[in-house]
Amino acid sequence: MPELPEVQTIVDDLNKRIVGRKVAGVWYDWPKTIKKPKATDLEKEIRGLKIEEIKRRGKNILIYLSKGVDKSAYLLLIHLKMTGHLLYGNWQMKNNKPVFPGKGFLSEKVNSYIHLIFYLDNGLELALSDLRKFAKVIFGPAEEIEKLGELHKIGPEPLNQSFKVGKFISLISPQRRKIKQVLMDPKVIAGIGNIYSDEILWQAKIHPLRSANSLKPEELEKIYKSIRQILEKALKLRGTSVSDFRDPLGKPGLYGKKLLAYRRGGEPCLRCGVKMKRLKMGGRSSCYCSRCQILK
DNA sequence: GGAGTTGTTCCGCC
DNA sequence: AGGCGGAACAACTC
């Protein structure tokens, strides 16, 4: 579920909390999550390294670590996919499973799906919780990890200053696919998934099935503005917790209350009152208003 | 029991 | 060639 605003929220939190910590150990119970190195080698390769900085690229969380001199010598890449959460706190093992001991913010379901833990040198832990076990973790020399397709074959960051409307148009207008699919393609533009693409197209009044190459410059401009506005607002509200998103301290994001289109099929359009529609694309559903978002 | 659920890649069909 | 649907990853909710 996490898209750009959720992942950025996590990255901002981690930068406040775990920079300067050293990795003291690793625990896991689902080796398939660890793509590189071999799961059995992760602990001996990462133990003792110091966390220097956390960045984001698309929906990837990038944790840079060092042995001291080169501050970005090693990279731990984490992609949360559909149901992953990164949680920072203090767990105890019960029946061979990590359990958060407190009654407060993490006493919910999220912590019962923890499959990987990084123990830190301050006694706290960074834990990966993942109900559906799609999340992945890759660790190695930064130079090597940065060359992988995960980071290399990814489109521009929509919130970067350098991402101007002209760049957006040149990227989108040659595409022959439906605009909804193009917006969700990480190779075209980074960080947008099913939730925000529905919100963006509703705000821009563009039908999700419009071919990208049929869009006029003024329509593309509206989409561009909606992308910036919606992602920025969602980021301010610390993301959307429509199913289960939690920040590293287990708190939900607040943008869920602001959603105007996502999952609103059958409900009245909040602009014109007409009943919203829902359609399927590539196994994913998209909600839109058939009056506001006309298919030409 | 069946359909639907957030991300991404890949495969086979047109 | 390239768009598209479906599968795969896995496990839950409605």
List, for residues A167-220, the tens digit of each pLDDT value.
999 999 999 999 999 999 999 999 999 999 999 999 999 999 999 999 999 999
Residue A105 binned pLDDT confidence (cut-offs 50, 70, 90): very low
Catalytic residues of A: 2-3, 59, 284
Q: Is residue A157 part of a domain?
A: no
Q: Is residue A183 part of a domain?
A: yes
Q: Which of A92, A123, A152 is the last residue of a domain?
A: A152
Do A174 and A139 lie in a common domain? no
Q: Which of A124, A152, A180 is the last residue of a domain?
A: A152
Q: How far is the CA of A197 from the C1' of C1 (A)?
A: 27
Q: How far is the CA of A69 from the C1' of B6 (A)?
A: 39
A214 touches strand B (CB under 7 A): no
Do A30 and A119 lie in a common domain? yes
The C-alpha angle A235, A237, A243, rounded to 5 degrees, equals 95
Do A18 and A95 lie in a common domain? yes
Q: Which of A111, A128, A152 is the last residue of a domain?
A: A152
A124 touches strand B (CB under 7 A): no
A68 or A163, greater pLDDT: A163
Number of domains observed in the structure of chain A: 2
Would you say the pTM of this structure is higher than 0.85?
A: yes
For the cut 60, the answer to whether the pLDDT of residue A110 exceeds it is yes
Can you give the pLDDT at residue A224? Answer: 97
Q: What percent of chain A has pLDDT over 70?
A: 92
Can you give the pLDDT at residue A102? Answer: 46
Q: Is residue A160 part of a domain?
A: no
Do A36 and A136 lie in a common domain? yes
Do A114 and A177 lie in a common domain? no
Residue A107 binned pLDDT confidence (cut-offs 50, 70, 90): very low
Output the domain CATH number for residue A80. 3.20.190.10
Note down the domain range covering A135: 4-152
